[in-house]
Amino acid sequence: MSLRINSVAPDFTAETTEGTINFHDWIGDGWAILFSHPKDFTPVCTTELGYMARLKPEFDKRNTKIIGLSVDPVDNHARWAEDIAETQGTPLNYPMIGDTDLAVAKLYNMLPEEIDGSSEGRTAMDNATVRTVFIIGPDKRIKLMLSYPMTTGRNFDEILRVLDSMQLTVKHRVATPVNWQNGDKVIIVPAVSNEEAAGLFPDGWETVKPYLRIVSQPQ
């Protein structure tokens, strides 16, 4: 299945370190981040999962749940969590999916390119999930997709930045410019007429071009 922005996020039932979940039910009426890592007890993954654990309070503030995934069994996740807490200084505080049958990995296209288009000849590395991130909205639709190679750790501060941008644009009729950070000026979307904008942004805006109107970030 080809997933795109605004596709409905495939639903699934899976075993996690916090019990069995149905994904859509687990998301509830908030946002969610589903991210995969290649393998437990590996160096880059250890740093990533520890950093996400430190960021979890920030995601909580944004009504956003986080959940990890690899093809390792749940028991492995639980044992590895001890190493993450020891080396990264933060205990694992979100569920981890044990996708041993690759069911979720295949649903979300998390596996590297198949050899000869079939499972024949695949190695353990071929069956490891790449570093994929999905942000899913309260409507259960995919809002962001990112895939990184196995050797490159992700910038989860960027995931938080994009989440802030998307939640801002859901609430207000604005878009965020290049390198935007929370609190920076934003752009009034072209679909909003000047007449509408006057009601939405009574303090005014800067018109650089008719299609480029800069305004202070709404609260």
Task: Write down the catalytic residue from 45, 74, 96, 135.
Answer: 45
- Per the annotation, the verdict on 45 as an active-site residue is yes
Q: How far is CA 132 from CA 34, 37, 110, 180, 199, in A?
A: 8, 7, 6, 23, 40
CB neighbours of 47 closer than 8 A, spacing ≥ 6? 88, 153
Q: What is the distance between the alpha carbons of residues 20 and 97, in angstroms, rounded to a whole number? A: 9
Q: Is the dihedral of CA 159, 160, 165, 170 positive or negative?
A: positive
Q: Cβ(5)–Cβ(143) under 8 Å?
A: yes
CB neighbours of 173 closer than 8 A, spacing ≥ 6? 188, 189, 191, 192, 196, 200
Structure tokens at 92: 């694992």
Q: What is the distance between the alpha carbons of residues 59 and 70, in angstroms, rounded to a whole number? A: 21
Query: Would you name the residues annotated as active-site residues?
Result: 45
